[in-house]
Amino acid sequence: MPHAAVSERQRNRAKQLRRTMTRAETLLWRYLKANRIDELSFRRQVPLRNYIADFVCLSVKLIVELDGESHDFAERQKADQRRDAFFESEGFHILRFTNEQVMSNLEGVVEIIRKVASSRASTLPPSLTLPHKGGGNGNDRSSNNVNISTARGQP
């Protein structure tokens, strides 16, 4: 998904959601943040256009959503369907779990995420690596380090 401008309001909302995660989100995040699922990098509370996804792995285009009791109502479920349709139109696969599923069966939830991520990793083309800060590629940086060392009179 190409980088889309995110409004300051949306960015602030995502930051607020990161600070006030539910117990289930915190528990799952502990597994995801340490790259414990097949070395995949997940981000939390990620703004994507008009929505904020709970957890996103961009390399395999996977979104994990945790739903609390507020998602039991018909109106909220319709909103979730619109949201999922948008994410799917952008090429993402969405996994939804209830907070209760995470709290009572974390290992099962993690295993489902692992299987789906693995399946998607084998079917999606590899993603391009981003350039390092300051531009250029890794080779340019290493040659700069050599020049700096040589300039200081070090071998």
pLDDT classification of 132: cutoffs 50, 70, 90: low
pLDDT of 108 strictly over 60: yes
Q: So what's the pLDDT on residue 151?
A: 39
Pick one of 3.40.960.10, 1.10.3720.10, 2.60.40.10, 3.40.50.150 as the CATH number of 8-128: 3.40.960.10
What's the mean pLDDT in 113-136? 73
pLDDT in tens, 28-86: 988 888 767 888 889 888 888 888 899 999 999 999 999 886 555 677 788 889 989 99
Selected residue with higher pLDDT from 103 and 74: 103
Domain boundaries, the chain: 8-128
Selected residue with higher pLDDT from 137 and 82: 82
What DSSP designation does 154 have? -
Closest CA to 30 of 143, 109, 87: 109
What's the mean pLDDT in 87-104? 93
pLDDT of 128 strictly over 60: no
Average pLDDT, the chain: 76
Helices (H), the chain: 8-19, 23-33, 74-89, 99-104, 106-123, 138-151
Q: So what's the pLDDT on residue 61?
A: 93
Selected residue with higher pLDDT from 30 and 132: 30
CA distance 130 to 81: 32
Considering only CA atoms, give the Rg of the chain: 19
User: Which residue type occupies 114?
Assistant: R
Strands, sheet with 62-67, edge to edge from the N-terminal-most edge strand: 43-48, 51-57, 62-67, 93-98
